[in-house]
């Protein structure tokens, strides 16, 4: 039957995957599935600050360009991830004083977004990532501690200046349902837009876990952001489980994937869904959440799981 991207297109949505540079270069099975099933790609790591500007003013786009070239060859769009984040950012940035840090941020955005500004494949960016704590307070990252909240508006303005056509997103996790954190995000996006800050899009990462339950009111949450006038998207979907995997867990996992797809389908402003990888062979989950895994839609041998069928059938 037809690949996911064909079904997604028939519903007016994209279906994406995060891609890692090493298997993309070395594994034909990985490349084939990435090319045929998905209409959008995100670099899992290759566009992060530690990859693109490891030392000050020394830009390296080798991994990022590898992803973008692959996407162009396969008629896919790239969502740039991510410009300003507290993680995977070199120590030299973190130790700057306020004036120098603000300039470094603006220079980074200008160079990275500018590198792709005339590239039709790269159409959107996560400008800031994970600015909130789970209780809805601003995360006390080195960005916030050095610059205060103003770095967020400054980052969006710098991104707009570097590419007037790119769609500019704010992205976070645990904001899929209605809760304190998503409400803080809602209030921030509303206030930024009232001030004329160019926030075009809100990304819900979607790192879910079957043992924590499905988030409540996902469709209503997407809709309240849509009603602010922004596009919404699911940017990093995966559904992990406590290992070992079994058929009961696989079935539950499939319903989570299905329900995320259905929420996006029900909201006109939801552009699509990106899965954070596609095969359990390459997933951040086992490295990050001890004892957990099997979060993706293909198993480690590239066989489709019930989650694949659920996404396929929902689209």
Catalytic residue numbers, as ranges? 236
Candidate residues 21, 40, 45, 124; the one interacting with ligand XIL per rule CB under 6 A: 45
Task: Give start and end residues of each alpha helix (H) in the chain.
Answer: 4-10, 21-26, 28-37, 49-52, 62-73, 91-94, 98-115, 142-147, 150-162, 180-194, 218-226, 247-265, 285-288, 306-314
Of 291, 228, 232, the C-alpha closest to 266 is 232
Residue nearest to ligand XIL (CB): 284
Classify 105 in phi/psi space as left (phi over 0), alpha (psi -120 to 50) or beta: alpha
The smaller minimum CB distance to ligand XIL, of residues 11 and 139, is found at 139
| DSSP classification of residue 243 | S
The 235-254 site mask, x for binding ligand XIL (CB under 6 A), equals: -x------------------
Closest distance to ligand XIL from the beta carbon of 45 (Å) = 5
The tokens of 76 are what?
A: 């896919």
Q: Tell me, by CB under 6 A, how many residues bind ligand XIL.
A: 6
* CA 11/CA 101 separation, integer angstroms: 43
Closest distance to ligand XIL from the beta carbon of 257 (Å) = 18
Candidate residues 44, 53, 154, 163; the one interacting with ligand XIL per rule CB under 6 A: 44
Q: Is 308 a residue that touches ligand XIL (CB under 6 A)?
A: no
The smaller minimum CB distance to ligand XIL, of residues 44 and 280, is found at 44
Closest distance to ligand XIL from the beta carbon of 256 (Å) = 17
162, 113 contact by CB (below 8 A): yes
Tell me which residues touch ligand XIL (CB under 6 A): 44-45, 129, 205, 236, 284
């Amino acid at each position: 039957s037809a690949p996911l991207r064909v079904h997604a297109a028939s519903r007016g949505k994209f279906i994406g995957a995060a891609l890692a540079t090493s298997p993309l270069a070395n594994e034909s099975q990985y490349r084939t599935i990435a090319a045929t099933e998905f209409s959008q790609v995100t670099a899992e790591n290759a566009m992060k600050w530690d990859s693109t500007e490891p030392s000050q003013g020394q830009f390296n786009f080798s991994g990022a360009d590898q992803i973008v070239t692959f996407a162009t060859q396969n008629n896919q769009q790239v969502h740039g991830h991510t410009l300003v984040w507290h993680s995977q950012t070199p120590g030299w940035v973190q130790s700057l004083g306020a004036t120098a840090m603000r300039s470094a941020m603006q220079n980074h955005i200008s160079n990275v977004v500018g590198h792709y500004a005339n590239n039709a494949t790269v159409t959107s960016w996560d400008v800031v990532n994970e600015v909130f704590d789970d209780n809805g307070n601003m995360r006390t990252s080195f960005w916030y501690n050095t610059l205060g909240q103003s770095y967020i508006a400054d980052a969006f303005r710098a991104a707009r200046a570097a590419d007037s056509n790119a769609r500019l997103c704010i992205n976070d996790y645990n904001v899929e349902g209605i809760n304190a954190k998503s409400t803080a995000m809602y209030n921030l996006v509303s206030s930024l837009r009232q001030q004329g800050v160019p926030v075009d899009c809100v990304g819900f990462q979607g790192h879910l876990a079957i043992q924590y339950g499905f988030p409540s009111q996902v469709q209503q949450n997407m809709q309240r952001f849509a009603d602010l006038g922004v596009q919404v998207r699911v940017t990093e979907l995966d559904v992990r489980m406590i290992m070992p995997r079994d058929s009961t867990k696989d079935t539950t996992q499939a319903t989570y994937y299905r329900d995320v797809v259905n929420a996006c389908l029900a909201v006109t402003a939801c552009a699509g869904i990106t899965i954070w990888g596609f095969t359990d062979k390459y997933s951040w989950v086992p490295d990050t959440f001890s004892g957990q895994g099997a979060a993706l839609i293909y198993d480690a041998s590239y066989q489709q799981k019930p989650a694949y069928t659920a996404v396929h059938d929902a689209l």
